[in-house]
Structure formats: structure tokens, C-alpha cells
Amino acid sequence: MLERGRSPFRGALCHTGLVSVSRADLLEAFRRRGRQLWVVGGAIRDRLLGIAGSDADYATDALPDEVEAIARELGAPVTTVGKKYGTIGILVDGRWTEITTFRGESYTAGSRWPDVRFGTSIEEDLARRDFTVNAIAENAFTGEQIDLFGGAEDVAARIIRAVGDPATRFREDPLRILRGIRFASQLGFTIEPRTLEGMRATAHLIETLSQERVTAELDRMLQGREPARGLEYLRETGALRYALPELEPMVGCEQNRFHKFDVWGHTVATVDAIDVGEERRLRRWAALLHDLGKPAVRHPKPNGEWGFYRHEVVGAELAAALLDRLRFGRREAESVVLLVRRHMDRPDPDDPKAVRRFMARLRGHWRDLLALKRADNASHTYDDREYHDRLEAACERVEREEAELLRARSPLSGDELMAIFGRPPGPWIARVKERLSSLVLDGELAPGDKEAAARIARELLESQRV
Ligand code: ATP
Ligand code: MG
């Protein structure tokens, strides 16, 4: 998949051993040929916002063949995967940088992919861009800025505004609707009323987009800094119905006295509240889908209240089908589904067996589940924090015990290891013991074989693998 301005070779350079060119050399090569070079898009926007380090993208009047020739002359690593869209990737100062020929593209209405035409001026190129905050250019040689649509003002006012007539622009490429909502979430910006109106009028066209493009935008939106804002915009514009129709029944699905909001409001609050830790993607998606089963299972209880018996079971099935439709990777989808399935688990923290069973079911995701349970509780009418703290402490205790048990199988004790290697105590002991213990568990080391254990420990320490 290749979107305008976004390509698979994005990101910092890994250790490929390639030699990049310097920005100064690149500029000089373009200048020598009398070519224009403009810094455009996200880099300028982010700099105005005080966010440093965004990838610099460039626009130029040189055609892709010439850009490629320039890069090859400089001996720079080049990628041409985006060439038919006008983009050449060049490694500049160690980062992949995109240089795109001016656009003057025409879109075939209803097509899944934009059809590209090249333009002749930076002004024409900027007029083809999606939002004013993304349509500022800076001359790479002189620093002169061109801001034809009031982009800098909109950055200052934190506004997403379409360039030109919103509905027309969204009809040309309906992905822009989702991009606008994604930027609102990522940047914490407000969508300007006419732009929002244009989104509403064209939201149905989201159905004509390829699933990959839609999923990529939803995913980035959900991982933004204000996902609640993005989710509410999805609902408000009607884009929810076309991008995530499975979630629509949550809207207006009333709950019971344990809840402050309907299922949708509660879902948004949970996404907003979840502590993402180092599992931003997993936890945000799990929060979004944890109550997906509720509308389908809602039933009146004898006391007249709504009940949601087994909603986590039905929800897990619905979540699996949804993630499959979105083309999520299998492993990631499985983890999300597992969290949905188990979010009602409530083991007794004082019962070690129950806690162990809980942890085993979660297959390494108990911390993620606890984060979900805490966030879920944030918009309940009761406070379960004390229970969650106790459960967390119990899980940590089990984890510590298991690590100790594992280390206890090591043929060499900590004292013996220190004596053999003449090293002071430290975390290295636990690591060596864990390795030795797992070899014992795997049957590769006899439990009493201290000699072999010492040999293996020496290798580990020498190779600095522990
Ligand atoms: P980020 O890289 O942080 O997501 P960005 O603004 O750089 O933000 P890209 O997707 O990299 O976003 O696109 C680069 C630029 O290309 C945008 O700033 C915008 O000017 C333009 N652009 C990208 N996609 C579209 C589109 N579908 N329609 C119009 N212009 C677009
Ligand atoms: Mg970009």
C-alpha cells in the first residue's frame, strides 16, 4: 500500500550500512540544476507546533526521473517504490526523506486509488493538499514561506480546515475525511464547522476506499493523543457507520445504574482513560472493543434493569470478526480478542490458585488486562481501585515466586557463582540462574551437574549475553 506522502520505507535508518548524503549536498545538487526544492507538509506544521524531529518531506519541480538521477549522482541510497506517485525516497543525513514532484493530480471519482498528474508550481501543489495546516511550504534554499490558505493561523488556533471546498475535496479522495479526524486526534485539534459539514455530506464515500487505507487511518487515530476526540468526530460525521459499522449499535445503547454513560460513551471514556504503557496499540484497541458484545446481548433482568450476561464472550467473537475484516495481523488480533474475552474476570486476590489461573489464561497479558479493568472502571458509578490494587499486588507476588522457583532449579547457587567468578553480587546472578534453570527444565542440563553449569555460566558471562 502506498498513500500520498506515506510509504513503507518511512522511519529512521536501521543498520543497513548504507551511506547517506548530507542535506547540504542534496540542496546544492538541486540548486546547480536550477531546480526548486520546498519543505512541505507535516514537518512545517510540526515545527510551528514546537514538535521537533518530524521527517522532512520535499516538493520539487523536477520529475521523478531527474530526482532519481540526482540521488544516484550523489551516490545516495534511493528507493523508487513510490515513483509512479511521484515520490523518490533518498537517505539524507541518515533518514529516509521523500522528494515528491509537484502535484496537480486529478482524482477519478469513486476510484480506490488516486490517479496522479504532475503540476508545475508550488502554488498548484499546495492547492492540492488536504488541510491548511498541511499546506505550508518553505523554500529549502531561502527559508521563504508560502502559506496561501492561512495554515499558520490554523496551527495557532489548533484547527483542521480543508483546503478549498471541503465536500469537493472529500469527494476527490474520501480518505481525507479519516485523515482529518486522525489529525484531530493526533494533534488535539478542532475540526472547523464547514469542514465537519463536508465530512458529514460525504462520509458514505468511505465505503469506496480500500480497507488497507481505512484501517491505517483508524489505527493512527486510535493511537493519537486525544482518541476520544477522534472517536466523537467519527460518530458526529457519520463516518463511524461506514468505517466501523460494527460499533454503531453501541451509540444510544443505555445501560444500568452501574454506568454513567451509554455503551458508546462508556467506550470512549475507557479508551480515553486507559494507561497505554508500552502497549499503546493493543490497549487502545482492547478498550475500544471491550464492550462490543453489549448491544447484542442486552436483556431485561427480573429487577427491571438491563443485564449484559456473557457480553464478553459474544464481544470476543464480534471483535475477532471485526479485526479480521480490518486485516489486523493474527497475533495482534488474538491479543485484543483475549483481553475482550477476559475483561470481566475477577479472581479473588487472596486465593493464589485463582490468581495463577487468571494469569495463565491471560498468557503474559495480565498487566494489559489490569490496565483495561482500571480504565473500564473509570466511568462506572462504583470505585474498584482497591480491588485492582490488590489483584495487581497478587499477580506481582506470583510472578516473583515463579522467578524464584525457576532460579531454585539452578545447579549453582548465588554464593557459588560469586565464588567461581569472583564477582560481587548483582543482577547478573539472577540472570545466570534463570538461564541455568531453564536449561535444567529443558532437560539439557542435569540438576546436579555443577561442572557443566559453571562452563555454561562462563560462556554466558564472556559473551555478555546475560
Ligand atoms: P504525518 O507524517 O505526521 O502523518 P503528514 O502531514 O506528513 O503527517 P503524510 O501522510 O506524511 O502526513 O503526508 C504528507 C503531506 O502530503 C501532508 O501533509 C499533505 O500535505 C499531503 N497529503 C497526504 N495525503 C493526502 C491526501 N490524501 N490528499 C491531499 N493531500 C495529502
Ligand atoms: Mg509525513
Among 125, 129, 136, 186, which is best to mutate for testing ligand 1, by the most ligand atoms less than 8 A from CB? 129
pLDDT in tens, 89-129: 999 998 999 999 999 866 555 555 556 789 999 999 999 99
Asked if residue 142 and residue 19 are part of one domain, the reply reads yes
Asked if residue 127 and residue 61 are part of one domain, the reply reads yes
Q: Residue 19 gets which letter from DSSP?
A: P
Q: What is the pLDDT of residue 365?
A: 97
8: its cell numbers: 513503507
Distance CA 343, CA 255 (A): 17
Residues in the chain where the model's pLDDT stays below 70 = 1-18, 105-115, 465-466
- 230 ligand 1 Cβ < 6 A: no
Asked if residue 367 and residue 315 are part of one domain, the reply reads yes
Q: What is the pLDDT of residue 5?
A: 42
pTM (two decimals): 0.86
Q: Residue 445 gets which letter from DSSP?
A: S
Could you say which ligand is closest to the alpha carbon of residue 172? Answer: 1
Q: In sequence order, what DSSP letters do the residues of 436-450 get, joined into one string?
A: HHHHHHTTSS-TT-H
Asked if residue 347 and residue 390 are part of one domain, the reply reads yes
460: its cell numbers: 554466558
How many structural domains comprise the chain? 4
- 129 ligand 1 Cβ < 6 A: yes
Could you say which ligand is closest to the alpha carbon of residue 132? Answer: 1
Give the residue whose CA is nearest to atom 26 of ligand 1: 130
Taking CA atoms, 62 is separated from 59, 67, 143, in Å, by 9, 6, 19
Asked if residue 193 and residue 86 are part of one domain, the reply reads no
Domain boundary among 243, 275, 307: 243
Domain with 190 in it: what CATH number? 1.10.110.30
Q: Residue 256: CB partners within 8 Å, gap ≥ 6?
A: 305, 306, 307
Asked if residue 105 and residue 18 are part of one domain, the reply reads yes
- 175 ligand 1 Cβ < 6 A: yes
Asked if residue 267 and residue 138 are part of one domain, the reply reads no
Distance (angstroms) between ligand 1 centre and the Cα of 282 equals 25
Asked if residue 24 and residue 114 are part of one domain, the reply reads yes
Domain that holds residue 234: 163-243
Residue (of 75, 79, 103, 102) closest to 89 by Cα position: 79
Distance CA 336, CA 339 (A): 5
- 173 ligand 1 Cβ < 6 A: yes
Q: What is the pLDDT of residue 367?
A: 98
Could you say which ligand is closest to the alpha carbon of residue 178? Answer: 1
Taking CA atoms, 163 is separated from 133, 216, 233, 288, in Å, by 9, 22, 19, 31
319: its cell numbers: 471483535
Distance (angstroms) between ligand 1 centre and the Cα of 41 equals 6
Q: Residue 180: CB partners within 8 Å, gap ≥ 6?
A: 130, 131, 160, 162, 191, 195, 199
- 220 ligand 1 Cβ < 6 A: no
- 47 ligand 1 Cβ < 6 A: no
Q: What is the pLDDT of residue 466?
A: 67
Asked if residue 143 and residue 81 are part of one domain, the reply reads yes
Taking CA atoms, 188 is separated from 11, 154, 184, 230, 444, in Å, by 23, 13, 5, 9, 55
Domain with 369 in it: what CATH number? 1.10.3210
Q: What is the pLDDT of residue 11?
A: 43
Q: What is the pLDDT of residue 107?
A: 55
Three-state SS at 141: coil
Asked if residue 262 and residue 189 are part of one domain, the reply reads no
Q: Residue 34 gets which letter from DSSP?
A: T
Domain with 143 in it: what CATH number? 3.30.460.10
Asked if residue 215 and residue 298 are part of one domain, the reply reads no
